[in-house]
A and B are shown apart, each in its own frame.
Chain A
Amino acid sequence: MIEVKNVTKAYGKKQHEFIALDDVSLAIDKGRSVAVIGKSGSGKSTLMHIMSGLDHPKSGSVLIDGQNIFELKQKQIDTFRAEKIGFIFQSFFLEGNETVADNVSLPLEIAHVPRSQRKERIQKALESVELSDKAKNKARNLSGGQRQRLVIARAIVNNPSIIFADEPTGNLDSQTGAKIEDLLFGLNKERGVTLVIVTHDDELAAKCDVQIRIKDGTIQSIDYAKELGDTSNKAKEGEPA
């Protein structure tokens, strides 16, 4: 369960201050898939960074399973991120000079996974994004779509319980995009992984349990699609970006 309570994020100081998130509150149940939708510059990435404890809000709190993550010690936040969270960043942050396998290995090394288990886990993660045959290639030599898939392999290799994905299918053709979507939703259904997907893609958003629309740093609407019930927060003009 992720609870965001009255989070305000400001960039810059005093007269140059820019409010990127304005008193945002929301709650995401464990095992849900959530889409964060909004125009470019609306604050989607900022929200994702704050929810994962990477960035600090000006005010407000983020509770994960009841624990305010901004009150944790740095060491605990690090361990929490290393063991529980998988990240797919909007810009990939791949190590172009390292092999595909070494890129996927990084989260495992950081989480102190013993060497004996790594190989198999890396293999499995690469298989699920259909990159096994590229394991020994340098990441720099991959195509755009292959890079996107590599980033996803890196995010899931740790068996995280929450995956934050910033535009995970942005660079993929519809067929490969669909495969990645299946993969992510598969993890969500079978292993109960909480999915937080930032996207422009309405089709992808529609596949999620919850759609959160933001505009100019404020929540426009939270739609509980499908059979999830509570739709009280529905707004009128939440339009996709």
Chain B
Amino acid sequence: MKFVDTVKRAGRNLREAKIRTLLTSLAIGVGAFTITLSLAAGSGGRSFVEELVSANTNPRAVYVQPKQDSSIPGAPGAGGVQEYSDAPSVSYGGGFQLTLMKESDIAAISNIENVERVDPIYNLNAKYVTAEGQKKYQAGLNTYDESITLEYAAGTGDDLANNEIIVSEDYLKPLGFTDASSAIGKSIAVAVDNPLGVEKLFNFTVAAVSKKSDLAVSGSSDLTINGTASKTVYEYSEQGTPLEKAYMGATVITSSEDAVSTVQSTLKDQGYMADTAEDLMSTIFTFVNVLQGILLGFGALAILTSIFGIINTQYISVLERTSQIGLMKALGMRNRDIGRLFRYEAAWIGFLGGAIGAGFAVVLGMVANPYITDALDLGKTRLLEFHVWQAASVIIGLMVVAVLAGIFPSRKASKLDPIEALRTE
């Protein structure tokens, strides 16, 4: 019997036992549904992470921190008493210290080949922000980072001068501006305390008003100033402390993306902790993948159960059609073709189950996507990302599984003795 004829007959046979076929398919459908959804959530999650990371990091950047003493005092296996080191550090008490980066580290790193520049990370603390005739407000202060995508309501934050500042639109009203464009060019003051509690006002001109971004993690901070201004503010606030001219870390900008990995390994050789944007991404990817793996496991379990359903259904189908099998054998149908007929039936069941499950998953996903996005505040991102090839491979995979499950019953069919089979009515 030819392929098309066999497939058609197999399909017709199934239609005779509609309910049985449907129920068996539904069991597979549950697995297909779960798997399709978990694949969609996986791709959605990964592309969300990718967007998130690329909106907040620079692919040419390596994030450097000094190596920390890995031993925590009191922890089992810890070295106990630690030798005093002259290096600047922050003490958190109990002997727990955070080693900091010195100016000499920054200079050394700048000399590494392919390093374009090194931006120390300034831990800025503004006491308050105010404008003439307005009240004082608390505000977060950050250093401008070109790799963080900002959206502006007015002006632009590119080429920020040393005395310029980016203000979040939340601060327009409190600082006495009617709208974003009217704030541009106006002066505001940021107060900073030195370690002795002496307050100093730094005056800035508003260069841009930033909008809230769905993706930016730190980019939508209240106030943003450039690196030089940050250095000035930081040095004032830390003068005379061990933190003066010492930093939690630094961002190393390499000359090209290709240079990132060599610079990273050089930094590691020199005893720094160095992470690239990609490292960050893969760390978060691991979480997404683990979650997806758990979901996939449930799907696989559902499919495992449905395998027994297929075997059972097909076995009954063989018994029911014993005389039909006998007739086909008597008419000269090859044993191989009889077996194939039943395996194609199983494939049909797999296809049906896969299509039902994947179809439901896609429809549900389409409907649920906007709600999920809303609930999780993801902006334009869709958490469930469906790909045709994924749904197709789920269906094809299930057809293969179904055919494998159908091997046992189909072998029984092909081994029937035609005479015995013809005697059964």
Residues of A within 8 A of B (CB): 49, 52, 54-55, 74-75, 77-83, 85, 87, 89, 91, 93, 95, 97-98, 102, 106-107, 109-112, 115
Which of A79, A98, A112 contacts B1, CB < 8 Å?
A112
Find chain B residues with CB under 8 A from A112 CB.
1-2
Least distance between A107 CB and chain B CB atoms (Å): 5
B324 within 8 A of A: yes
The number of chain B residues with a CB under 8 A from chain A is 23
B312-368 contacts to A, CB under 8 A, are 323-324, 326-328, 330-335, 337
- Contact at B330–A87, with CB atoms within 8 Å? yes
Which of B9, B327, B333 is in CB contact (< 8 Å) with A93? Answer: B327
Proximity string of chain B (393-425) to chain A, C-beta cutoff 8 Å, 1 when within and 0 when not: 000000000000000000000000011001001
Q: Which 7 residue pairs of A and B lie closest in terms of their CB atoms, listed nearest first?
A: A82-B332, A81-B332, A93-B327, A109-B5, A78-B332, A97-B16, A110-B333
Residues of B within 8 A of A77 (CB): 332
In the complex the two chains form, is B326's CB within 8 Å of A74's CB? no
What does DSSP make chain B's interface, helix, strand, loop or mixed?
helix
Say whether B331 contacts A54, CB under 8 Å. Answer: no
Which residue of B324, B328, B332, B333 contacts A80 across the interface (Cβ within 8 Å)? B332
Nearest chain A CB to B119 CB, angstrom units: 74
**Cα–Cα, bound, A112→B3 (Å):** 10
- With most chain B CB atoms within 10 A of its CB, the pick from A81, A83, A93, A97 is A93
Q: Does B12 contact A (CB under 8 A)?
A: yes
Q: Which residues of A contact B335 (CB under 8 A)?
A: 74
A-B contact list, 25 entries, CB within 8 Å = A49-B419, A52-B330, A54-B419, A54-B422, A74-B334, A77-B332, A78-B333, A81-B330, A82-B331, A82-B332, A85-B332, A89-B327, A89-B422, A91-B323, A91-B422, A93-B323, A97-B12, A106-B327, A107-B331, A107-B332, A109-B5, A110-B331, A110-B332, A110-B337, A112-B2
Which A residues lie within 8 Å of B332 (CB)? 77-83, 85, 107, 110-111
Q: A98-B12, A109-B1 are in contact. Are A78 and B334 (CB under 8 A)?
A: yes
Instruction: Give the secondary structure class of A's interface.
Output: helix
Q: Which residue of A lies closest to B2 (CB)?
A: A112
Given A78-B333, A80-B332; A91-B425 close (CB under 8 Å): yes
Chain A residue contacts of B9, Cβ below 8 A? 109
Q: Report the separation of the CA atoms of residues A126 and B1 in the bound assembly, to the nearest whole angstrom.
A: 22
Known contacts A78-B334, A97-B16; 6 additional CB pairs below 8 A are A54-B419, A82-B333, A97-B12, A107-B331, A107-B332, A110-B337
Q: Would you call A102 and B326 a contact (CB within 8 A)? A: no
Name which residue of chain B comes closest to A84, CB basis. Answer: B332
CB <8 Å contact, A102 and B422: no
Q: Contacts A78-B334, A80-B332, A109-B5: A55 and B419 contacting too (C-beta < 8 A)?
A: yes
Q: Which residues of B contact A74 (CB under 8 A)?
A: 334-335
Report how far A91 CA is from B421 CA in the complex, Å: 12
**Chain B stretch 2-30: residues in CB contact (< 8 A) with chain A:** 2, 4-5, 9, 12, 16
Closest to B421 in A: A93
Please give the distance in Å from A152's CB to the nearest CB on chain B.
14
A74 to B330, CA, bound (A): 12
Assess whether A75 is in contact with B334, with CB atoms less than 8 Å apart. yes
A55: chain B residues within 8 A (beta carbon): 419
Q: List chain A residues, Cβ under 8 A from B326.
A: 93
Q: How far is the CA of A110 from the CA of B337 in the complex (A)?
A: 9
Chain B residue contacts of A97, Cβ below 8 A: 12, 16
Least CB distance, B35 to chain A, in whole angstroms: 34
Q: Which residue of A lies closest to B6 (CB)?
A: A109
Could you say which residues of chain B place their CB within 8 Å of the CB of A95?
324
Task: Report how far A83 CA is from B333 CA in the complex, Å.
Answer: 11
CB atoms of B331 and A81 under 8 A apart: yes
B260 CB, nearest partner CB in chain A, Å:
62
CA distance A109 to B422 in the complex (A): 20
Chain A residues lying within 8 Å of B331, measured Cβ to Cβ, are 81-82, 87, 106-107, 110
- The smallest beta-carbon distance between B9 and chain A, in angstroms, is 8
Nearest-neighbor residue (CB-CB) of A158 within chain B: B331
Among candidates A83, A98, A110, residue contacting B328 with C-beta atoms closer than 8 Å: A110
Cβ contact of B330, chosen from A54, A79, A80, A109, cutoff 8 A: A54
Bound-state CA distance A91–B324 (Å) is: 12
A95 to B327, CA, bound (A): 10
State A102–B1 Cα separation when bound (angstroms). Answer: 14
Chain A, residue nearest B327 (CB): A93
Docked-complex contact A106 and B328, CB < 8 angstroms: yes
Across the interface, which residues of A come within 8 angstroms of B1, CB to CB? 109-110, 112
CA distance A102 to B5 in the complex (A): 11
Instruction: Please indicate the chain B residues that have their CB under 8 angstroms from the CB of A93 in the complex.
Output: 323-324, 326-327, 422
Which of chain A's residues have a CB closer than 8 A to the CB of B418? 54
Q: Which chain B residues border A85 with CB–CB below 8 Å?
A: 332
Cβ distance B425 to chain A, nearest Cβ, rounded Å: 6
Contact of A102 with B419 in the complex, beta carbons under 8 Å: no
Residues of B within 8 A of A115 (CB): 4
Closest to A75 in B: B334
| In the bound complex, CA of A111 to CA of B327 (Å) | 14
In the complex, the chain A residue whose C-beta lies closest to that of B13 is A97
Q: How far apart are the CA atoms of A189 and B317 in the complex, in Å?
A: 43
**In the complex, residue of chain B having the shortest beta-carbon distance to the beta carbon of A105:** B5
Please give, as numbers and ranges, the residues of chain A lying within 8 Å of B337 by CB-CB distance. 110
Contact B2 A109 (CB under 8 A): yes
Give the residue name and chain of the B residue nearest to A97 (CB).
Answer: B16
Compute how far the CA of A94 lies from the CA of B12 in the bound complex, rounded to whole angstroms.
15
Chain A residues within an 8 Å CB radius of B330: 52, 54, 81, 87, 89
